[in-house]
């Protein structure tokens, strides 16, 4: 094909898309861009609804319904509501917008099953039958660190509450040093971190959940060490309350078991207060048995705690970063 023909053809294609796309979008839903640091996705169109995720600046979403100032989209296969006034409407018939859309590498959309489909361009996005059946629409900023995310790291026990104890080793001390290492690892990934306690003070379970629920955190990670009458009891387990958060628990548990070679006690649903009253995705980690002499030698070492912290971050990244 000669150059002139190519020029004519591409001009025709551009004119065609500028003409056709706004009409298609009007029928399919309104596109929005997140232009504030972070906003919450809720499971219902009201401010006291459960938080099921967060969007960060640069994320795009398409909405399908409006209700009292809230707009509905889909996230990890669930209906999700966002306050409309935190969003900036975008239109593809604007020349600048279309240019910036096209400069993105590829679009990743989360399907109803929670998987990803790669969309090579905005055009394919509109034409894709997969996407329509998936009824999804959030495209996240492509990145491989945790910048823009905020985590509550909760060191179990503290002050008058020592937690489990064996051979003069107190759980509250092990949880604090591990929580601090975890906070450091998360900050290295660009995340903001709030520690529920930074020293040996008593914080009630209510206050721990208040810290979480009153924040814009993306997840709450509670660090504990286990105890059992049987000194042979060993290994790591991860607990969650809402089944919505079992996936986060699984990702962290898997990463921990692989990196530490500890016994895998699995993930379990549990009715712990800090999980039950938490409106953020919340997990409680039991990182080994203080009552098992072999395991105690291991878990009291900074090497083990740092390894555990790194693998918790690995699990968090596998959960939150779609293309990680
Ligand atoms: Zn504990």
Concatenating the DSSP letter of every residue in 220-251 gives EEEEEEE--SSTT---EEEEESSGGGHHHHHH
- How far, in Å, from the CA of 163 to the mean position of ligand 1? 5
Q: Find tokens 């969650």 and name the residue.
A: 240
Cα(242)–Cα(263) distance, rounded to whole angstroms? 24
Higher-confidence residue of 80 and 255: namely: 255
Number of other CB atoms surrounding residue 160 within 10 Å: 9
What are 293-302's pLDDT values in tens digits?
A: 999 999 999 9
Cα(169)–Cα(175) distance, rounded to whole angstroms? 11
Higher-confidence residue of 250 and 98: namely: 250
- How far, in Å, from the CA of 226 to the mean position of ligand 1? 6
CATH class, domain 150-318, is alpha beta
- How far, in Å, from the CA of 183 to the mean position of ligand 1? 18
Helix axes 302-320, 171-188, angle to 10 degrees: 50
- How far, in Å, from the CA of 190 to the mean position of ligand 1? 28
- How far, in Å, from the CA of 102 to the mean position of ligand 1? 50
- How far, in Å, from the CA of 157 to the mean position of ligand 1? 6
- How far, in Å, from the CA of 106 to the mean position of ligand 1? 44
The upper half-sphere exposure of residue 284, i.e. CA atoms within 13 Å in the direction of its Cβ, equals 23
pLDDT for the residue numbered 142: 59
Q: Is 19 left (phi over 0), alpha (psi -120 to 50) or beta?
A: alpha
Cα(315)–Cα(36) distance, rounded to whole angstroms? 26
- Predicted confidence band at 32 (pLDDT cuts at 50, 70, 90)? confident
- How far, in Å, from the CA of 133 to the mean position of ligand 1? 45
- How far, in Å, from the CA of 165 to the mean position of ligand 1? 10
Residue 227 has pLDDT above 60, yes or no: yes
For ligand 1, a single-atom ion, the residues with CB < 5 A are: 156, 163, 224
- How far, in Å, from the CA of 258 to the mean position of ligand 1? 23
CB neighbour list of residue 184: distance below 8 Å, 6 or more residues apart:
309
Three-class SS state of 13: helix
Residue 7 has pLDDT above 80, yes or no: no
pLDDT for the residue numbered 20: 37
Q: Is 235 left (phi over 0), alpha (psi -120 to 50) or beta?
A: left
CATH class, domain 3-139, is mainly beta
**C-alpha angle 220-225-231 in degrees, rounded to nearest 5:** 155
- How far, in Å, from the CA of 161 to the mean position of ligand 1? 9
- How far, in Å, from the CA of 94 to the mean position of ligand 1? 55
| Residue 37 structure tokens | 């640091």
- How far, in Å, from the CA of 245 to the mean position of ligand 1? 20
- How far, in Å, from the CA of 173 to the mean position of ligand 1? 11
| Closest by CA position to 313, among listed 179, 196, 198 | 179
What are 186-222's pLDDT values in tens digits?
A: 999 999 999 999 999 999 999 999 999 999 999 999 9
- How far, in Å, from the CA of 285 to the mean position of ligand 1? 9
What are 101-152's pLDDT values in tens digits?
A: 333 333 333 333 333 333 333 333 333 333 333 334 566 555 689 998 999 9
| Residue 147 structure tokens | 């910048």
- How far, in Å, from the CA of 214 to the mean position of ligand 1? 23
What are 279-294's pLDDT values in tens digits?
A: 999 999 999 999 999 9
- How far, in Å, from the CA of 321 to the mean position of ligand 1? 29
- Predicted confidence band at 35 (pLDDT cuts at 50, 70, 90)? confident
Report the Cα–Cα distance between both ends of the chain, in Å, rounded.
40
Percent of residues, the chain, with pLDDT higher than 70 = 73
- How far, in Å, from the CA of 256 to the mean position of ligand 1? 18
Residue 99 has pLDDT above 70, yes or no: no
Start-end of H helices in the chain: 3-28, 95-103, 122-127, 129-134, 171-188, 205-213, 246-260, 273-276, 293-299, 302-320
pLDDT for the residue numbered 150: 94
Whether 37 and 56 have beta carbons less than 8 Å apart is answered as: yes
Please name every residue paired with 170 in a beta bridge, in sequence order, or none if there are none: 165
Q: Is 19 exposed, middle or buried (0-12, 13-18, 19+ CB in 10 A)?
A: exposed
CB neighbour list of residue 271: distance below 8 Å, 6 or more residues apart:
241
Cα(85)–Cα(176) distance, rounded to whole angstroms? 40
Percent of residues, the chain, with pLDDT higher than 90 = 52
- How far, in Å, from the CA of 270 to the mean position of ligand 1? 13
How confident is the prediction for the chain on average, in pLDDT? 78
Q: Find tokens 């790591």 and name the residue.
A: 236
Q: Where are the domains of the chain?
A: 3-139, 150-318
What are 55-89's pLDDT values in tens digits?
A: 777 777 777 778 888 888 877 667 888 888 878 77
pTM of the model: 0.59
- How far, in Å, from the CA of 228 to the mean position of ligand 1? 12
């Amino acid at each position: 094909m000669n150059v002139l023909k190519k020029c004519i053809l591409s001009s025709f294609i551009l004119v065609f898309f500028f003409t056709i796309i706004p009409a298609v979008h009007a029928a399919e839903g309104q596109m929005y861009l997140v232009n504030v640091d972070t906003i919450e996705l809720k499971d219902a169109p009201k401010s006291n609804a459960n938080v099921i995720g967060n969007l960060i600046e640069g994320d795009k979403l398409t909405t399908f319904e409006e209700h009292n100032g809230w707009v509905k989209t889909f996230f990890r296969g669930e209906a999700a509501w966002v306050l409309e006034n935190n969003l900036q409407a975008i239109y593809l018939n604007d020349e600048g917008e279309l240019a910036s859309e096209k400069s993105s590498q590829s679009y990743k959309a989360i399907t109803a099953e929670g998987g990803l489909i790669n969309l090579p361009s905005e055009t394919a996005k509109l034409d894709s039958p997969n996407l329509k059946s998936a009824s999804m629409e959030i495209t996240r900023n492509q990145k491989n660190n945790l910048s823009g995310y905020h985590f509550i790291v909760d060191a179990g026990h503290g002050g008058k509450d020592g937690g489990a104890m064996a051979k003069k080793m107190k759980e509250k001390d092990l949880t604090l040093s591990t929580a601090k290492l975890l906070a450091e690892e998360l900050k290295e990934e660009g995340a903001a971190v709030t520690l529920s306690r930074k020293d040996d003070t008593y914080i009630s379970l209510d206050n721990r959940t208040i810290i979480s629920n009153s924040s814009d955190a993306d997840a709450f990670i509670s660090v504990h060490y286990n105890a059992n009458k049987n000194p042979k009891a060993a290994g790591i387990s991860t607990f969650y309350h809402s089944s919505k958060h079992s996936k986060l628990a699984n990702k962290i548990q898997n990463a921990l078991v692989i990196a530490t070679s500890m016994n895998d006690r699995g993930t379990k649903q549990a009715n712990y207060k800090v999980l039950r009253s938490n409106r953020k995705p919340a997990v409680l980690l039991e990182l080994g048995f203080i009552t098992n002499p072999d395991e105690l030698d291991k878990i009291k070492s900074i090497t083990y705690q740092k390894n555990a912290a790194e693998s918790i971050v690995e699990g968090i990244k596998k959960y939150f970063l779609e293309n990680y």
